[in-house]
Amino acid sequence: MIHGAQQPHSSQKGDVTEVVLVSHNPHKIVEMQDMLSKFCASVRVLSASQIGLTDEIEENGSTFEENALIKARAAAQMGYFGIADDSGLSVDALHGAPGVYSARYAGEPCDDHRNNEKLLLALKDVPAQKRGAKFVSVIAFAYPHQPQLDFTACGTCEGVVLTEYRGAGGFGYDPLFYVPEMHKTFAEMNAAEKNSISHRARAMQCFAQMFAARFGTNESSCARTQCENKWK
């Protein structure tokens, strides 16, 4: 059994009891606990602060995958299984920007309105047919002292960047990100609608499949989904 900071065993099913989600967001901890418990009843999800990982982690990767792995490996270096995510908006006409800088696109401190205004300015001369974009979410899982076993799961949601704000919900770039299949921006969707198609929801589904394949004790719970994943 893997427990806390002990050296991990092999990746046999059911041998993980504690994982660390490198986040201080209690809602994310509960969400991850609920999901992983479906596949491994004994698993317990800890927050970064519960293992003393309180210092800000420098996310200096050039991709969402690199940043997610940097954070997950911070917990792995302390002897724990680590989970972390990174996400953002990639705009075709801006060659993928704001990308990994999505949260601080307009500089520090992070400010959603300033980020949106900078995005609108950057796209002011771009016609509607060339305003394609996608939200990307990557979830990384890191093994303690065994980085060759680490893996990532990726989810995306395709859309376009509008020329004006629509909707009062959500956060970040949600009022500008229009999803054609839903005929709404993220900010116009209710929680159920957004969770059904969002990049994060798709990444979580993919991650759940991969976690179940390695650690699941309930095979019937592992639904087959189309997902992007990488074994490191």
pLDDT per position as a tens digit, 161-182: 999 999 999 999 999 999 999 9
Note the pLDDT of residue 2: 31
Note if 15 is an active site residue.
Answer: no
pLDDT per position as a tens digit, 59-70: 999 999 999 999
Helix axes 26-37, 199-215, angle to 10 degrees: 50
Residues 84 and 80: their CA atoms lie apart, in Å, by 12
Q: Domains in the chain and their CATH numbers?
A: 18-231 (3.90.950.10)
pLDDT per position as a tens digit, 68-101: 999 999 999 999 999 999 999 999 999 999 999 9
86: which DSSP letter? E
pLDDT per position as a tens digit, 206-218: 999 999 888 876 5
Q: Select which of 34, 55, 86, 174 is catalytic.
A: 86
